[in-house]
Amino acid sequence: MSLSLFHLVREPKIKSDTNPLLLLLHGYGSNEEDLFSFASELPEEYYVISARAPHPMPPYGNAWYSIHFDNDANKFSDDDEAIESRQLISTFIDELIATYPIDKNKVTLIGFSQGAILSYAVALSDPEKIQRVVALSGYINPAILSNGYTENNLSKLKFFISHGTADQVIPVDWARKAPEFLKALELDVVYKEYPVGHGVAPQNFYDFKSWLQQTL
């Protein structure tokens, strides 16, 4: 069967009956090859699957949702499209579990920028599907969370959040609100900052990789 989202797969080098999943969600204007470039560096017991966002952005990028500018050059997100992508990712996770021998209790989202914003939304809206989130250079947009998400059983979710202090795309102040938001829901959160712009520093990569090992 063809799945809802085009994706790249790195199979686990250490195979069990079922293996944990790292699902990579790229940023605005990028594609599935971006985060997949470090798949070989990720722990060997995981399926590493990188999804392509549904909205093409010529010449070669994709987006999870549109970003519009008004007359005063203010940016705003298309929340309806973001909610559609949130639901699409949730369905895609079900399809992956039906297609590959993935442990449905060990699904981790690794999102960068727009992919991180969607990772928060999927985890809080469908927490029964997600174990952990690595949110790189993103923020929480409450407008795209499911209605009544606070009634969900969120207790098993764990979050690793990181941001560059010199990020010129998403201000670090936006990211700093995420751990407070999640701690108010009594969730397990690690938050780190690095002296970089809108990207993933080598130390950041090393830190989230060791967090993955500690929390599996």
20 membership: H or E segment, kind and range: strand 19-25
Give the model's pLDDT for residue 2. 81
Average pLDDT over residues 65-74: 76
pTM comes to 0.95
Q: List helix spans (H) across the chain.
A: 32-36, 79-99, 114-125, 172-184, 202-215
Give the model's pLDDT for residue 73. 62
CATH code of the domain occupying 7-215 = 3.40.50.1820
Give the model's pLDDT for residue 59. 82
Give the model's pLDDT for residue 53. 97
Using an 8 Å Cβ cutoff, are 194 and 164 in contact?
yes
Note the pLDDT tens digit of each residue in 117-168: 999 999 999 999 999 999 999 999 999 999 999 999 999 999 999 999 999 9
Note the pLDDT tens digit of each residue in 169-194: 999 999 999 999 999 999 999 999 99
For the chain, the domains span 7-215
